[in-house]
Amino acid sequence: MNLKKWANLIITLTGVAMPAVSASPAAGAKEDDEHVTVHLADSAGDMLLVAQAKRLASQMFAGIEVKIVWRVGLPAAGQKGVIGIEIVTNTPESLHPSALAYSRPYEGVHIRIFWDRIQRMPFPNKVLAHVMVHEITHILEGIDRHSGEGIMKAHWSDADFGSMGIKPLSFAPEDVLMIHNGLKTRNSSAQSTTGQPERTSVTVSGAGK
């Protein structure tokens, strides 16, 4: 498949935007590093590729000393401090057209990923990992924003997709700071969603139209 067909991935947000860069990689997260529990409900049916994506996403977060604790299935209603990812197929064309995923950073829990759209792309396991990391970062930062470069940039270019096949995109320093600050807040107190606007952060591909 022609990689250029998937150039210019657009990550469209309904709120604020900001910039990015790289964080120095680490061999792995230490036992006492900040962590986040991520529940994953997978109806994609491709266990191997999803497992590969989870492993890569964990490695990407370990590079900024954040540990992902994976759990199976969606979190219980009202469970605090966790993230729930639902990987779905048979996505209606009318639901966030061309989107690869969406998250609810102000609600602080839910992410939905459209596997049927990702699996047609080059390196689907690596694209899935990057989409997971991007949307988890939105949840941890708790705000709609973008970065100028790396994992949280607004447009993933042809070069970015090519890089994903070789090594992961990196975090901006400001993203690293916001992630750790968000984790401290989430892990130290129960998160309240009272009065928060119901907004979504959407990852959109303009390719294939």
Per-residue burial over 55-71, b = 16 or more CB atoms within 10 Å of its CB, e = otherwise? ebbbbbbbbbbbbbeee
Residue 17 has pLDDT above 70, yes or no: no
Residue 191 has pLDDT above 90, yes or no: no
pLDDT at position 131 is: 96
Q: Taking a C-beta distance cutoff of 8 angstroms, is the pair 12, 204 a contact?
A: yes
What are 54-77's pLDDT values in tens digits? 999 999 999 999 999 999 998 998
pLDDT at position 154 is: 77
- pLDDT exceeding 90 applies to what percent of the chain? 52
Residue 1 has pLDDT above 60, yes or no: no
Q: Taking a C-beta distance cutoff of 8 angstroms, is the pair 122, 166 a contact?
A: no
- Report the chain's mean pLDDT, rounded to a whole number: 79
- Pick from 36, 96, 14, 29: nearest CA to 64: 29
Domains defined for the chain, CATH in brackets:
3-188 (3.40.390.10)
- Average pLDDT estimate for 171-189: 90
Residue 13 has pLDDT above 70, yes or no: no
pLDDT at position 63 is: 96
What are 27-36's pLDDT values in tens digits? 444 444 589 9
pLDDT at position 5 is: 43
Q: Taking a C-beta distance cutoff of 8 angstroms, is the pair 174, 18 a contact?
A: yes
Q: Report the C-alpha gap between 184 and 179 in whole angstroms.
A: 9
Strand, helix or coil for residue 84: strand
Q: Where does the pLDDT of residue 4 fall: very low under 50, low under 70, confident under 90, or very high at 90 and above?
A: very low
pLDDT at position 2 is: 44
pTM: predicted TM-score of the whole model, two decimal places: 0.80
- Average pLDDT estimate for 148-168: 90
Question: What does DSSP say about strands 110-114 and 82-88: parallel, antiparallel, or unpaired?
Answer: parallel
Residue 136 has pLDDT above 90, yes or no: yes
Q: Where does the pLDDT of residue 200 fall: very low under 50, low under 70, confident under 90, or very high at 90 and above?
A: low
Residue 123 has pLDDT above 90, yes or no: yes
Q: Report the C-alpha gap between 61 and 155 in whole angstroms.
A: 21
Q: Which amino acid is at 102?
A: Y
